[in-house]
């Protein structure tokens, strides 16, 4: 030990003190040694000076060593403490170590080697204990900080949830409130366009027609927002009944035909159903198809749009909508099913829309216990494939499902993504135009 150590010897016997001093000197310890003969003086010395180690005689005239140790611990004085015992005091020494002493040495064994060794190990043990205590304190502080952060995160989550609920409520209220005047605009425009009701000039009729068409478009957007907000809070119910699926599909295609014609796109329907009867919500099935078809028409500049209806094993059906449009990059497969997400989110984007259509389709399909598959390639086209049970179970709720992307980049949405994908693989559907 190269450093100069501040040491204190507490012993009422002058001869013993001298023996310790000599042993330490002969042991080569560099030190500033203080000596006191009773526990009161020891306590005062320890209160004013920071010692590196104390050698304490167990048997002192006023108090024994144990009382002094307890006194030191309760006054939070921390110092390595070596007890000097008489022969046969080993049991007492163990008690003292339990009370807080660092080590002990029998006076009969005092020698330069023994004393320096005990001194070194007492200081080493004490420093290690101090470091461990410091680390523990730091750990406690870190745990407290983490707990505080956790509380803050919980608070933020709570606020986020509250904000999200407010947003849903706002969307639902606003879209509901706006629908009433919008219906009035549509209704009065329709009345104005009746030949018997008003004698409009050609130009006036043209203007009213525009009001009507824009009104209908706005109403469609409002309905989308309203549906979405209802789906978000789980307030949209399916009204299931038995109906002919091919009829609904043809009805939806019929409604979209004029839009496809306006862009010179062929709109083809192919239904291969032995039994077209299903138990589902016809309004929502039509809504799903209208959403997919309007996207297919919107994002296709030339070519065709196909709608296919096929039967699958295990009483399931598949509705396929394919187009030869702009396509979707695989990195966007998952994103486009999220609410308000569009591949092009710039204000100057070419294609209009709320970005809610696919989010609504996704939620509805999941409520119906179905799955959506998407295959697409940029510049070639897209295929949305919707698998549905022939008869839906109304207990299916949207929150049970998950959205995922399989290893081949094919998007699917299902209760158990792995299982659904395996099932899908067993029933491949031909997609001749392109493959990812």
Binding site for ligand ADP (CB under 6 A): 291, 295-296, 299, 323, 325-326, 328, 336, 342-343, 353-359, 382
Please, which residue, 220 or 393, has the CB nearer to ligand ADP?
A: 220
Tokens of 51: 């010692």
Please, which residue, 70 or 435, has the CB nearer to ligand ADP?
A: 435
- Please report, for residues 204, 297, 307, 384, 385, the alpha-carbon distance to residue 322 in angstroms, rounded to integers and kept in the order given: 40, 10, 7, 6, 8
* 81-85/241-244 β-pairing: unpaired
Please, which residue, 96 or 290, has the CB nearer to ligand ADP?
A: 290
Please, which residue, 265 or 358, has the CB nearer to ligand ADP?
A: 358
Residue 288 Cβ, how far from ligand ADP at the closest point, in Å? 11
Burial class (CB in 10 A: 0-12, 13-18, 19+), 7: buried
Q: What residues pair up with 374 in beta bridges, in sequence order?
A: 384, 411
Residue 354 Cβ, how far from ligand ADP at the closest point, in Å? 5
Half-sphere exposure of 282 (CA within 13 A, CB side): 15
Please, which residue, 93 or 292, has the CB nearer to ligand ADP?
A: 292
Please, which residue, 22 or 341, has the CB nearer to ligand ADP?
A: 341
Residue with tokens 């399916």: 238
Q: Which residues contact 317 (CB under 8 A, 6 or more apart)?
A: 245, 273, 278, 309, 310, 311, 387, 388, 389, 390
Q: Which residues contact 101 (CB under 8 A, 6 or more apart)?
A: 56, 65, 69, 81, 82, 83, 93
φ, ψ dihedrals at 363, nearest 5°: -65, -45
Residue 135 Cβ, how far from ligand ADP at the closest point, in Å? 54
Residue 359 Cβ, how far from ligand ADP at the closest point, in Å? 6
Residue 282 Cβ, how far from ligand ADP at the closest point, in Å? 21
Please, which residue, 37 or 342, has the CB nearer to ligand ADP?
A: 342
Half-sphere exposure of 435 (CA within 13 A, CB side): 5
Please, which residue, 11 or 387, has the CB nearer to ligand ADP?
A: 387
Residue 303 Cβ, how far from ligand ADP at the closest point, in Å? 12
What is the tally of helices (H) and strands (E) in the chain? 10, 14
Distance CA 336, CA 70 (A): 71
Please, which residue, 299 or 411, has the CB nearer to ligand ADP?
A: 299
* 31-36/81-85 β-pairing: unpaired
Residue 366 Cβ, how far from ligand ADP at the closest point, in Å? 15
- Please report, for residues 39, 311, 317, 390, the alpha-carbon distance to residue 277 in angstroms, rounded to integers and kept in the order given: 100, 11, 11, 8
Residue 349 Cβ, how far from ligand ADP at the closest point, in Å? 8
Which residue of this chain has its Cβ atom nearest to ligand ADP in the complex?
A: 353
Please, which residue, 59 or 341, has the CB nearer to ligand ADP?
A: 341
Please, which residue, 299 or 421, has the CB nearer to ligand ADP?
A: 299
Tokens of 345: 């989110």
Residue 277 Cβ, how far from ligand ADP at the closest point, in Å? 29
Distance CA 255, CA 271 (A): 17
Residue 182 Cβ, how far from ligand ADP at the closest point, in Å? 18
Residue 336 Cβ, how far from ligand ADP at the closest point, in Å? 3
DSSP string, 204-254: HHHHHHHHHHHHHHHHHHHHHHHHHHHHHTT-PPP--EEEEHHHHHHHHHH
């Amino acid at each position: 030990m190269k450093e100069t150590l501040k040491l204190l010897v507490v012993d009422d016997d002058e001869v013993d003190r001298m023996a310790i001093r000599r042993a330490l000197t002969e042991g080569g310890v560099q030190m500033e040694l203080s000596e006191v003969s009773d526990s009161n003086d020891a306590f005062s010395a320890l209160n004013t000076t920071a010692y590196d180690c104390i050698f304490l005689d167990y048997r002192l005239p006023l108090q024994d060593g144990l009382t002094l140790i307890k006194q030191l611990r309760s006054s939070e004085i921390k110092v390595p403490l070596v007890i000097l015992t008489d022969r046969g005091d080993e049991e007492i020494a163990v008690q003292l170590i339990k009370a807080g002493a660092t080590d002990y040495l029998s006076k009969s064994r005092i020698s330069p080697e023994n004393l320096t060794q005990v001194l070194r190990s007492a200081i080493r043990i004490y420093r290690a204990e101090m470091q461990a205590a410091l680390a523990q304190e730091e750990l406690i502080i870190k745990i407290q900080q983490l707990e505080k952060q956790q509380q803050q995160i919980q608070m933020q989550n709570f606020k986020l949830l509250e904000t999200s609920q407010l947003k849903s409520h706002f969307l639902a209220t606003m879209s509901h409130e706006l629908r009433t005047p919008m219906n009035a605009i549509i209704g009065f425009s329709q009345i104005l366009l009746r030949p018997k009701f008003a004698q409009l000039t050609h130009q006036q009729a043209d203007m009213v027609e525009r009001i009507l068409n824009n009104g209908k478009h706005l109403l469609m957007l409002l309905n989308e927002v309203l549906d979405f907000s209802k789906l978000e809070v789980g307030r949209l119910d399916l009204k299931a009944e038995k109906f002919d699926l091919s009829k609904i599909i043809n009805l939806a295609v019929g409604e979209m035909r004029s839009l496809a014609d306006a862009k010179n796109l062929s709109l083809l329907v192919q239904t291969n159903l032995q039994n077209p009867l299903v138990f589902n919500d016809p309004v929502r099935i039509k809504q799903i198809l209208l959403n997919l078809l309007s996207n297919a028409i919107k994002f296709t500049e030339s070519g065709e749009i196909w709608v296919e209806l096929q039967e699958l094993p295990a009483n399931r059906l598949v509705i396929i909508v394919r187009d030869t449009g702009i396509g979707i990059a695989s990195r966007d497969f998952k994103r486009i099913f999220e609410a308000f997400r569009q591949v092009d989110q710039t204000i100057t984007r070419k294609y209009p829309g709320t970005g809610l259509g696919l989010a609504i389709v996704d939620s509805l399909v999941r409520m119906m216990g179905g799955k959506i598959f998407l295959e697409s390639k940029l510049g070639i086209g897209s295929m949305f494939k919707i698998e549905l049970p022939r008869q839906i179970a109304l207990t299916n709720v949207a929150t049970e499902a998950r959205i995922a992307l399989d290893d081949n980049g094919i998007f699917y949405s299902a209760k158990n993504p792995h299982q659904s994908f395996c099932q899908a693989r067993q029933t491949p559907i031909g997609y001749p135009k392109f493959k990812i």
